């Protein structure tokens, strides 16, 4: 059986105040959908976090609808989707029984007896056990089981319930959204709980031929070659800058042997962290100045209007770090430093401190310069 394993689309994601929906649309329609058409799997699996928030913007919903229509209606390929911790499971489950007849299988929230989807290839049937994000409180209420306190206990409960419906010896695929102990996360993943109670053991997926997981944005295996995170299709934070993004192409033969290949995807803009001295970065040649950029500066002294100057080269400069910056320790040093700057430079520095992700625009600069001039003129008239 051929499967495309993807996860963590986060449709409608905002990155430093800017919606990524257009980039997501371009990546899904120009790279992902052509891959689905050419590889033509027996199923496409999306392992949670379809949307970035429980009430996604209309454009994100329209994009998902377009992708679903292309896969299910045009290509006639079953599409299996589970809810993640960013999704509203109840909203994802809308019209589920009707959509199932068309080849779209959605499990937004855990349900009693679990959700099992059976598809077939030339070797016979394969059972897909859908394990959407399991909030312990919801699972405890669903089963009336007061012994459920953490994510592992909740996931075990819905897994065991669903596995009662499986036929021993038959190939099976778990589709889950969880944080497996020992895996590597990033800044853009919302913690499932505090104090480490969100972690579950990788052995929870041992009964399955393959486990298609979501939640962690970096593609990786989790304890076994057959337990894998596909990762997100795009970079959603600067902590993901070094990650290769894509999807996993899975093949399961008749004996249950699994082969996986990672297929890379590249967004129209990269997310990069550039390290160096400010002057050297500004002077260096760069063919991709339109990328989303963070500057990690080696400079030890403050640079006035660094964001504004940086954005003249990198219009999508989103953040800046100065880990080695040395702040003047005495008031005399600070006063001397301040006197060396013009009023406009001081105001630009203040604005950068107040709005680090939004430097002064040219229009704002002109307005401030006009105000300064009026103040100077008034002072001159008084004198």
| pLDDT attached to residue 194 | 42
Domains of the chain and any CATH numbers: 2-264 (3.60.21.10), 271-321 (no CATH), 343-381 (no CATH)
DSSP string for residues in 334-373: HHHHHHTS-HHHHHHHHHHHH-TTSPPPHHHHHHHHHHHH
Rounded Cα gap, residues 201 and 39, in angstroms:
32
Which residues share a beta bridge with 221? 228
> How far is it, in rounded angstroms, from Cα 234 to Cα 265?
8
Look at residue 283 and give its three-state secondary structure: helix
Distance CA 371, CA 383 (A): 19
Determine which helix (DSSP H) or strand (DSSP E) holds 162, and give its type and residue range: helix 151-163
**The pLDDT value given to residue 99:** 92
pLDDT at 379: 62
Whole-number Å distance between alpha carbons of 333 and 343: 18
Alpha-carbon gap, residue 208 to 6, rounded angstroms: 18
pLDDT confidence of residue 363:
83
Question: What is the DSSP code string of 42-108?
Answer: SEEEEES--BSSSS--HHHHHHHHHHHIIIIIIS---EEEE--TTS-HHHHTTTHHHHHHHTEEEE-
- pLDDT score recorded for residue 328: 42
DSSP calls for 121-151: ETTEEEEEEEE----HHHHHHHHT-TT--SH
Cβ–Cβ under 8 Å, residues 216 and 198 = no
What are the φ/ψ torsions at residue 261 (nearest 5 degrees)? Answer: -135, 135
Per-residue confidence of the chain (383 residues) as pLDDT tens digits? 999 999 999 999 999 989 999 999 999 999 999 999 999 999 999 999 999 999 999 999 999 999 999 999 999 999 999 999 999 999 999 988 889 999 999 999 998 878 999 999 999 999 999 999 989 999 999 999 999 999 999 999 999 999 999 999 999 999 999 999 877 776 665 656 444 457 899 899 999 999 999 999 999 999 899 999 999 999 999 999 999 999 999 999 999 999 999 999 999 999 999 999 999 999 999 999 999 999 999 998 888 899 999 999 999 999 999 988 755 444 555 555 555 566 777 777 777 766 766 777 878 888 888 887 777 666 655 54
Q: How far is CA 239 from the centre of its chain?
A: 11
Query: What is the Cα–Cα distance from 139 to 141, expressed in whole angstroms?
Result: 5
């Amino acid at each position: 059986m051929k499967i495309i394993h993807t996860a963590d689309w986060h449709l409608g994601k905002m990155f430093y105040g800017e919606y990524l929906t257009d980039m997501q649309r371009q990546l899904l329609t120009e790279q992902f959908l052509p891959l689905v058409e050419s590889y033509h799997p027996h199923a496409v699996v999306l392992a949670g976090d379809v949307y970035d928030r429980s009430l996604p913007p209309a454009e994100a919903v329209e994009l998902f609808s377009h992708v679903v229509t292309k896969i299910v209606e045009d290509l006639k390929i079953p599409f299996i989707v589970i809810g993640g911790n960013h999704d509203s499971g109840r909203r994802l489950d809308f019209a589920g029984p009707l959509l199932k007849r068309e080849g779209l299988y959605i499990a937004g929230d855990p349900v009693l007896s679990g959700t099992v989807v059976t598809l077939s290839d030339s070797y016979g049937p394969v059972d897909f056990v859908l394990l959407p994000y399991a909030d312990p409180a919801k699972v405890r209420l669903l089963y009336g089981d007061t012994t459920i306190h953490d994510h592992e206990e909740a996931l075990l409960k819905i897994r065991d319930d669903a596995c009662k419906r499986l036929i021993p010896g038959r190939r099976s695929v778990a589709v889950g959204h969880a944080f497996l102990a020992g895996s590597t996360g990033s800044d853009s993943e919302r913690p499932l709980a505090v104090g480490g109670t969100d972690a579950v053991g990788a052995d929870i997926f041992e009964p399955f031929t393959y486990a298609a997981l979501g939640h962690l944005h970096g593609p990786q295996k989790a304890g076994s070659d057959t337990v894998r995170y596909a990762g997100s299709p795009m970079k959603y934070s600067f902590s993901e800058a070094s990650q290769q993004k894509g999807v996993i192409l899975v093949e399961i033969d008749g004996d249950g042997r699994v082969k996986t290949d990672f297929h890379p995807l590249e967004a129209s803009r990269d997310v990069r962290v550039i390290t160096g001295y400010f002057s050297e970065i500004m002077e260096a040649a760069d063919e991709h100045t339109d990328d989303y950029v963070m500057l990690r500066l080696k400079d030890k002294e403050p640079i006035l209007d660094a964001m504004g100057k940086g954005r003249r080269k990198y219009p999508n400069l989103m953040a800046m770090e100065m880990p080695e910056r040395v702040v003047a320790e005495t008031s005399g040093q600070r006063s001397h430093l301040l006197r060396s700057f013009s009023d406009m430079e001081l105001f630009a520095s203040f604005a950068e401190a107040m709005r680090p992700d939004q430097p002064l625009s040219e229009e704002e600069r002109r307005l401030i310069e006009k105000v300064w001039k009026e103040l100077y003129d008034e002072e001159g008239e008084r004198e």
